[in-house]
Amino acid sequence: MKKGRGRTSRIRRQKLFRSSEARGVTESHKPEFIELKKWLKDRQFEDTNLTPARFPGTGRGLMSRAPLQEGQTIISLPESCLLTTETVMRSYLGPYIAKWRPRPSPLLALCTFLVSERHAGSRSPWKPYLDTLPKAYTCPVCLEPAVLGLLPKPLQAKTEEQKARVQELWASSRGFLSSLQPLFAEAVDSVFSRGALLWAWCTVNTRAVYWERPPSPCFAAEPDTCALAPYLDLLNHSPDVQVKAAFNEETRCYEIRAASSCRKYEEVFICYGPHDNHRLLLEYGFVSARNPHACVYVSKDILIKYLPPADKQMNKKISILKDHDLIENLTFGWDGPSWRLLTALKLLCLGAQEFLCWKKVLLGETISDLNEKISLDIAQQICLCFTEETNATLQKVSRMKDEDAAWSGQLTLVEALWTEELKILQVSAEVLARSRAAFP
């Protein structure tokens, strides 16, 4: 037998392959990262802990070069590397912003700078950073209308609100952007197109870190809290990690410290916050598998749909729920129907003779076995209906992926969201079945 061809050697190779696949493939040799590292070094930053890599499941991220211990600084990015409104005011845009009325918002200043610098191409001193930014984003505001219509209704509503805010930014910026014409040989309308401004808005919204700046008389009276952090913004999100992130006034660096350890060659994560998958997709353009904060939302209209239509006290019950902030954020989660959802159902299911006990429901007391049983039955019906609708949507998404390859990436993202919601509903159905068994 030739050396290395036996069963033991084969198993060893398989383990090494799986290990290598799990820890990602380094991308530090790619031209954009070589240039970024040079650019960062010129600004007094050189990292020895992390290296760019591509990982299965999360895509491009940062990999540890050595074991990281709890409390250790993961990354310390000097202020000279950060892109803030101060950066913008020190640039050629500063005089135009200072004299414009009404004052531009800090967000518009950052977006304007990003579009202008990207338009400058090789002449931009920020080119090494700009070359590492996504060319397009997968946030719902960027999705095709047909794909957007496949999202859960609550997320569609939030997306429309977000689109309205972006549209308002676009509409209100026209005068200011026109004042920048002396800076460009081309018409400003071609430089600052709606698509270009949307790209810049997504860049700030998905990648900026929080760093509150003191108010400036040059900007509108809005919080100035966004800073773009080259290289640091390659860190991906995981709901299971804890980090401490803040700007250190003494070192003048934006620092991230690990609250847990990380082994060598593993992907280094940070946590963007305790967000459900709707929020992650809306704000950052991705879905997190097995996200402990993920949930399926139940609207007021869905609740009423399953309740007796002849209930004369329904309007009063709905009013009570609104007064006690129990009409929104009703959900199914990994542990079944939420307390808020069950409490709302119990109150809505109170019989005429039980209605005077509604305060006890809000305190978590049991009113009657019948009330408990009816509430669980309705929760079960809603869960079953949602499961059927989710399966139908997943089938529709699958057909669309086969029919239109151009939308494959967007549809895969929608598919991932619905797949996670289906898992939650299946778990919730099991929880409800066990709870329902207690009431014959």
Q: Amino acid letter at 298?
A: V
Query: Same domain for 302 and 432?
Result: yes
pLDDT of residue 15: 42
Q: Is residue 46 part of a domain?
A: no
For the record, the structure tokens of 138 come out as: 């997968």
Among 228, 259, 278, the domain boundary falls at 228
Domain of residue 140: give its range.
83-228
Query: Same domain for 210 and 95?
Result: yes
Q: Is residue 237 part of a domain?
A: no
The total domain count for the chain is 2
Query: Same domain for 217 and 132?
Result: yes
Which residues touch 204 (CB under 8 Å, ≥6 apart)?
107, 110, 111, 114, 226, 228
- From the CB of residue 107, how many other CB atoms can be counted at a distance below 10 Å? 24
The CATH number given to whatever domain includes residue 393 is 3.90.1420
Cα separation, 416 vs 409, whole angstroms: 11
Query: Same domain for 223 and 334?
Result: no
Q: Is residue 100 part of a domain?
A: yes
Q: Is residue 29 part of a domain?
A: no
Residues 365-390: tens digit of each pLDDT: 999 999 999 999 999 999 999 999 99
Query: Same domain for 199 and 301?
Result: no
Q: Do 369 and 361 meet the contact criterion of CB atoms below 8 Å apart?
A: no
pLDDT band at residue 19, thresholds of 50, 70 and 90?
Answer: very low
For the record, the structure tokens of 168 come out as: 């308002």
Q: Is residue 247 part of a domain?
A: no
Measured over the CA atoms of residue 182, residue 185, residue 190 and residue 196, the dihedral's sign is negative
pLDDT of residue 22: 55
Q: Is the pLDDT of residue 17 over 50?
A: no
Q: Is the pLDDT of residue 21 over 70?
A: no
Q: Do 77 and 254 meet the contact criterion of CB atoms below 8 Å apart?
A: yes
Percent above pLDDT 70 for the chain: 95
Say which residue the tokens 């797949």 belong to. 419
pLDDT band at residue 5, thresholds of 50, 70 and 90?
Answer: low
Query: Same domain for 313 and 219?
Result: no
Among 228, 243, 274, the domain boundary falls at 228
DSSP state string for 65-122: SS-B-TT-EEEEEEGGG-B-HHHHHHSTTHHHHHH-SSPPPHHHHHHHHHHHHHHHGG
Query: Same domain for 223 and 300?
Result: no
Q: Is the pLDDT of residue 7 over 90?
A: no
* Torsion angle, alpha carbons of 352, 354, 356, 358, to 10: -110
pLDDT band at residue 23, thresholds of 50, 70 and 90?
Answer: low
Q: Do 434 and 305 meet the contact criterion of CB atoms below 8 Å apart?
A: no
Q: Is the pLDDT of residue 355 over 50?
A: yes
Query: Same domain for 218 and 308?
Result: no
The CATH number given to whatever domain includes residue 201 is 3.90.1410.10
pLDDT of residue 16: 40
Query: Same domain for 101 and 212?
Result: yes
Paired residues of 332 in beta bridges: 296, 337
Q: Is the pLDDT of residue 313 over 50?
A: yes
pLDDT band at residue 261, thresholds of 50, 70 and 90?
Answer: confident
Which residues touch 87 (CB under 8 Å, ≥6 apart)?
113
Residues 38-68: tens digit of each pLDDT: 999 999 999 889 999 999 989 999 999 999 9
Average pLDDT of span 352-361:
93
Query: Same domain for 123 and 216?
Result: yes
pLDDT of residue 76: 96
Q: Is residue 73 part of a domain?
A: no
Residues 73-103: tens digit of each pLDDT: 999 999 999 999 999 999 999 999 999 999 9
Higher pLDDT, 439 or 391: 391
Query: Same domain for 112 and 210?
Result: yes
Question: What pTM does this model have?
Answer: 0.92
The chain-wide mean pLDDT, for the chain, equals 92
Q: Is residue 236 part of a domain?
A: no
Among 180, 204, 228, the domain boundary falls at 228
Q: Is the pLDDT of residue 18 over 70?
A: no
Query: Same domain for 186 and 300?
Result: no
pLDDT of residue 405: 83
Q: Do 64 and 264 meet the contact criterion of CB atoms below 8 Å apart?
A: yes
- From the CB of residue 402, how many other CB atoms can be counted at a distance below 10 Å? 10
